[in-house]
Structure 1
């Protein structure tokens, strides 16, 4: 979870200094595996959040002394402090779910414009967010495979919206492989995809195929960038044919 989102979720700006310090330590405990905290780090974390630099000795006293103390001297690092076990359990109960989110995908238009293409169908939104996240985090093989999947999904939705899904359905009721769908799509008069768009279909398919099936191949940023503009044009066209725009 990004620090800014954590700050907003716990309303950090309204908290007193000792509670801010405690919550920031908990954040770094969950995100970075920190178990012992130096006052230098705590001071730095507060400043990074645009709070005033604390009086370290006074803050340490407030954190480690008194009936409501949250920390005790570290057993492993001299001069550092660590959570009182009961306090850590309480923080886990109250805030742990914020930092163990298995649903939210942090993406920000890294490759595909989310404001334009997300929000139509939940499964499309999640695919687009995953594409953006993997591209932004240099996971280009994962990005390529996801792009291939989104391409296939948009083709199927377009066939469904045009009432011609039978053209890509096998006798057992399942859809043809993507190669077969593309072969039909480039010449299907009812679907009506212009050649300037369909000429790139094999390129979209091959980028994903290489990442999914080649033993020695690994995708790089350029492999994605080389098809990005044509891919976006394809998306807009198929969104319209699928009745999503």
Structure 2
């Protein structure tokens, strides 16, 4: 699977409706600009176009000929290989350098959609992004832990909004652990969970705990996917209880 930053570059090139040679040179910049000794062939560039879903059926011989004529490209010693010229990276850095920042890399929201409002709270939206990113790229242990964390954060927000934060605050002034928060939530005395919510919170907690603490268990894609649709419904419910559904 192509790395996140390369996929982000591909998405940008598609959105710009870039021409074939422009795509080829931009990919060449991304793949070679950080290593002055690295060269890549036109065939490898065309394969990247195919793998990234930018272009299919690229004529690598034609691309090779066009790259050889491009003013920003230099040939390598090995026949048919190229790299971006030293000193010619600036325009590409200016145009696409922002994609190196992890915060700018687009992450699909296939697991926990952005249509579920979290009130615009930056830390909650950041957790949602991590959940979707770790799910998208197969980091399922991390995904399970982040699901548990977002649930816990929203439970605390719900207690706080209802005026019952003291119920989950220990004698030392700190918020109690998730087990105690869940016990208070399930009692119905402080926040009103729907009938199915207690079952879902237990599953999310169990999944997150196993991912974080089990010595031998490895969370699978099926484990994460089995959390839905309950997890989405739970997050929507907790966001509503916390008055974040705006």
Question: Which range, TM-score by smaller chain?
Answer: 0.7 to 0.9
Query: Partners in 2 of 1:97 and 1:231 — Cα distance?
Result: 36
Deviation at 1:162, TM superposition (A): 0.3
Contact 1:185 1:193 in 2 (8 A): yes
Alignment of 1:25-104 (within 5 A): 25-29=28-32, 35-42=38-45, 49-50=54-55, 55-56=62-63, 58-63=65-70, 69-75=71-77, 77-88=78-89, 90-91=90-91, 93-95=93-95, 97-104=97-104
Question: Rg: which structure is higher?
Answer: 1
Contact 2:184 2:190 in 1 (8 A): no
Secondary structure (helix, strand or coil) at the match of 2:196 reads: helix
Query: Partners in 2 of 1:210 and 1:50 — Cα distance?
Result: 42
Deviation at 1:224, TM superposition (A): 1.8
Contact 1:18 1:62 in 2 (8 A): no
- Within the candidate set 1, 5, 8, 2:11 is matched to 5
Normalising by the residue count of structure 1, what TM-score does the alignment of the two structures yield?
0.81
User: Structure 1 residues 59, 212: closer, same or farther in 2, change over 3 A?
Assistant: same
2:238 aligns to what?
A: 238
Contact 1:106 1:129 in 2 (8 A): no
Deviation track 1:15-37 (CA, whole Å, cap 9, x = no partner) reads 7x765542231133379x99313
User: Structure 1 residues 202, 36: closer, same or farther in 2, change over 3 A?
Assistant: same
Normalising by the residue count of structure 2, what TM-score does the alignment of the two structures yield?
0.80
Point out which structure has higher relative CO (alpha carbons under 8 A, 6+ apart): 2
State the number of aligned residues: 235
1:223 aligns to what?
A: 223
Structure 1 unaligned blocks of 5 or more: 64-68
Deviation track 1:203-244 (CA, whole Å, cap 9, x = no partner) reads 221111111111111111222223222222211221111001
Contact 2:119 2:244 in 1 (8 A): no
